[in-house]
A and B are shown apart, each in its own frame.
Chain A
Amino acid sequence: MSGTSGTIRAMFRGMLGRFRLDVSFEVPATGVTGLSGPSGCGKTSVLRGMAGLLRLEEGFVAVNGDIWQEGPLFRPTHKRPLGYVFQEASLFPHLSVRNNLLYGAPHRQPPQGQGVIGFDEVVDLLGLGRLMERAPLNLSGGERQRVAMGRALLSQPKLLLMDEPLSALDRQTKDEILPFLEKLHDSLSLPILYVSHDMSEVERLADHLVLLEAGRVRASGPLNALQSDPALPLAATRDASVSLDAVLEDYDASYGLAYLSIDGGRFIVPSPPAPKGARRRLRIAAGDVSLALEPPKSSTILNILPMRIAAASMLGENEVLAALSLEQGTPATRLLARVTRRSWEQLGLAQGMRIYAQIKSVALAHRTQ
């Protein structure tokens, strides 16, 4: 293996006690890559391996052409330009918030320019202004985790590793932090590897996904492709859904509806007012999509798209899960539909057929720009 610019490549092989880890993946060095799988599948070990906190018998890590580990070459953690956000914020209790933030910041201020993450920018992005002189002891769980993220960012990383940064927080605090993560994703060009077993976080944040299972890579690819692959466990769950990135084309203020377009299709979604060009992530659940052979003439359903059944598989005894691809545009964009076997047979549906997908509801994962 060698390091290629534009990608993050990693390979780890070895025993961890009685657990065998044998993973290898290559993901783009942009955006957020989710690292997901059931607990105990080796997610955290992979992340620790990337950081050099864990050394297995065999390992390879290259980030954007820069080799961190290969054969006998092993750069110690403190010489790898990374940021790491642990599950617990792990702030230094003897330092103020300001000094925690500055702990990893280069002493000589790097020349302001592209790719440099500024102190004020981070404070603003994460809403840390009021906390500066406080001690970590007096912060709430969510505030601590935000400081930990800011601290990691200010060390000017080339790769941000996040190990379930929200899992120790309650629902409300999670919802308070997720928008910050989305802002991070949108405003910094920093690649992020995000470990989580919670698909709802992955759906909102990730562009790319690596699925692990029992110490191996089960699948790796763009989020939408993995979500809509009937062969993977994601599609078989009760709340299976797909995420689509759309751009706001128009806004109808009289009805409060946004016209959001994706490559090859358009959705009409109830939404608070937003400017043209705003980016929104849509979430469409498999259970909210039904299929028809002809375009319904009159219906209360706003979103009806001509699609083709790309793949189908049984879901238990009496349900069918179909992966649908758009008739126009990039064929890679897919939706999932879950229908009863009775309807499937009555309509005589089969792989390759053209159908109309009626989408009962489209959820907006609120995405700031």
Chain B
Amino acid sequence: MFDGLPPDIWQPIFLTVELAAITTVLMIVAGTPIAWWLARSKAWWKEGVAAVVAMPLVLPPTVLGFYLLVALGPSGPGGVLAGLWGARTLAFTFEGLVIGSVVFSLPFVVQPIRNAFEAMGDRPLEVAATLRASPRRAFWTVAVPLARPGFLTGAVLGFAHTVGEFGVVLMIGGNIPGETKVLSVAIYDYVETSRWYEANILAGGMVVFAFVVILTMTLIEKRARRAGE
């Protein structure tokens, strides 16, 4: 049934999946310590940090994209970083897109993990400590397994949100096929060039994808609630 599809429709799909997968892994790695600290710390200024992490939820993507563009560009820290391998800038590159996506979608990963750590309370960690478990062992053998639904929710949300981003991508990635031309940009492109058939296929695919994501999340939460009883 895919015989009638133009070959260039696959490239943005693969690129999007690659971007979302890498971004999700990085967000879990970076988001877990942040979520842990936000859940456990008693510092009075932690909600300030939480607000900074959550800001992309409220900021218009173009505003975030603008600042990211400045940061990734030749005169920003991104340019310095790119200089390490002889490039001039991280803007309009796949790497730059990964960095931008991590910043943009991080709140969707941090929030559920933080909630899961908070819902667990102090008790399981206290029990682990009275059983001679070091804080490190208690984290890996008790906190992480108990927060598993939070990790799953965070990963699914982070992945889905990265797949759907548009404004930030347009600002810092542009529209370079195979490098920064992801799904949402491709749909926009097809519509611009009046290729409604292809736009329809991609858009329809996203609808199915969104349905699967929501259903998965609901099932994860339902299972978690049952396990918690």
A74 CB contacts on chain B under 8 angstroms: none
Chain A residue nearest to B127 in the complex (CB) = A90
A261 to B146, CA, bound (A): 54
B84 at the interface (CB under 8 A from A): no
- The answer to whether B129 touches A78, judged by C-beta atoms less than 8 angstroms apart, is yes
Question: Which secondary structure dominates chain B's binding surface?
Answer: helix
Contact B145 A86 (CB under 8 A): no
For the complex, give the distance between the alpha carbons of A51 and B132 in Å. Answer: 11
In the assembled complex, the Cα of A79 lies from the Cα of B135 at a distance in Å of 11
Q: Are A82 and B130 in contact (CB under 8 A)?
A: yes
The listed residue (A76, A92, A94, A137) touching B127 by CB distance below 8 A is: A92
Q: Does A104 contact B (CB under 8 A)?
A: yes
CA–CA, A94 and B145, complex, Å: 7
Contact in complex: B131, A53 (CB < 8 Å): no
Size of B's binding interface in residues, CB under 8 A: 21
Taking CB atoms, residues of chain B closer than 8 Å to A51 are 130
Partner of B146, one of A53, A83, A93, A152: A93
Q: Does B213 contact A (CB under 8 A)?
A: no
Question: Is A281 in the interface zone, CB < 8 Å from B?
Answer: no
Contact A93 B123 (CB under 8 A): no
> Are the C-beta atoms of A152 and B130 separated by less than 8 Å?
yes
**Complexed CA–CA distance, A83 and B131 (Å):** 7
Contact B133 A93 (CB under 8 A): no
Chain B residues with Cβ below 8 Å from A155 are 130-132
Question: Is B229 an interface position by the 8 A CB rule?
Answer: yes
Check if A303 is an interface residue, CB within 8 A of chain B: no
Asked if A354 is at the interface of the complex by the 8 Å CB criterion, the answer is no
Binary interface encoding of chain B residues 140-175 relative to chain A, with 1 for a CB under 8 A from any of its CBs, else 0: 011001101000000000000000000000000000
Q: Is the CB of B132 within 8 A of A104?
A: yes
Residues of B within 8 A of A104 (CB): 130-133
Contact of B135 among A78, A90, A137, A152 (CB under 8 A): A78
B208 at the interface (CB under 8 A from A): no
Q: For B129, give its contact among A76, A81, A151 (CB under 8 Å).
A: A76
State in angstroms the CA–CA spacing of A53 and B135 once bound together: 13
| A93 in contact with B228 given A78-B134, A78-B135, A86-B123 (CB within 8 Å) | yes
- Per the 8 Å Cβ criterion, residues 46-90 of A in contact with B are 51-53, 76-79, 81-84, 86, 88, 90
Q: Which residues of B contact A52 (CB under 8 A)?
A: 129
Q: Which of A77, A92, A93 contacts B130 (CB 8 A)?
A: A77
Q: Is B124 an interface residue (CB 8 A)?
A: yes
B58 at the interface (CB under 8 A from A): no
Indicate whether B227 reaches chain A with its CB closer than 8 angstroms.
yes
A103 at the A/B interface (Cβ < 8 Å)? yes
Q: Which residue of B lies closest to A102 (CB)?
A: B131
Secondary structure dominating the interface of A:
loop
The residue in chain A whose Cβ has the minimal distance to the Cβ of B228 is: A93
A residues within 8 A CB of B135? 78
From known contacts A78-B134, A137-B229, infer whether A92 and B124 are also in contact, taking CB-CB under 8 Å: yes
Q: A93-B146, A94-B145, A94-B146 are in contact. Are A78 and B227 (CB under 8 A)?
A: no
Asked if B126 is at the interface (CB within 8 A of a chain A CB), the reply is yes
- Given A93-B227, A93-B228, the answer on whether A151 and B145 have CB atoms closer than 8 Å is no
By the criterion CB–CB under 8 Å, are B133 and A83 in contact?
A: no
The answer for the CA separation of A213 and B123 in the assembled complex, in Å, is 26
Interface flags, A145-165, vs B, CB<8A=1, else 0: 000000110010000000000
The distance in angstroms between the C-alpha atoms of A93 and B135, with both chains bound, is 19
In the complex, which residues of chain B have a beta carbon less than 8 angstroms from the beta carbon of A81?
132
In the assembled complex, the Cα of A79 lies from the Cα of B133 at a distance in Å of 9
Contacts of A88 in B (CB 8 A): 123
Task: Point out the residues of chain B lying under 8 angstroms from A93, CB to CB.
Answer: 146, 227-228
A86/B127 contact (C-beta < 8 A), A103-B133, A137-B227, A155-B132 known: yes
Nearest Cβ on chain B to A51's Cβ, whole angstroms: 6
By a CB distance below 8 angstroms, the chain B residues around A78 are 128-135, 138
- Residues of B with C-beta under 8 A to A76: 129
- Give chain A residues whose Cβ lies under 8 Å from the Cβ of B142: 92
Cross-interface CB contact of A77 among B123, B129, B228, cutoff 8 Å: B129
Q: Which residues in window 160-186 of A have CB below 8 A to B? A: none
Knowing A53-B129, A76-B129, A77-B129, the reply to whether A90 touches B134 (Cβ < 8 A) is: no
In the bound complex, how far is the Cα of B126 from the Cα of A83, in angstroms?
A: 11
> Bound state CA distance, A51 and B127, in angstroms?
11
The CA of A137 and the CA of B127, in the complex, are separated in Å by 17
Which residues on B are within 8 Å of A, measured CB to CB? 123-124, 126-135, 138, 141-142, 145-146, 148, 227-229
A sample of 24 inter-chain contacts (CB < 8 A) reads A51-B130, A53-B126, A53-B129, A77-B126, A77-B129, A78-B129, A78-B130, A78-B132, A78-B138, A83-B130, A84-B126, A86-B127, A92-B124, A92-B142, A92-B146, A103-B131, A103-B133, A104-B130, A104-B132, A152-B130, A152-B131, A155-B130, A155-B131, A155-B132
20 A-B pairs besides A86-B126, A92-B124, A137-B227 with CB distance below 8 A are A52-B129, A53-B129, A53-B130, A76-B129, A77-B130, A78-B128, A78-B132, A83-B130, A84-B126, A86-B127, A88-B123, A92-B146, A94-B146, A94-B148, A104-B132, A104-B133, A137-B229, A151-B131, A155-B130, A155-B132
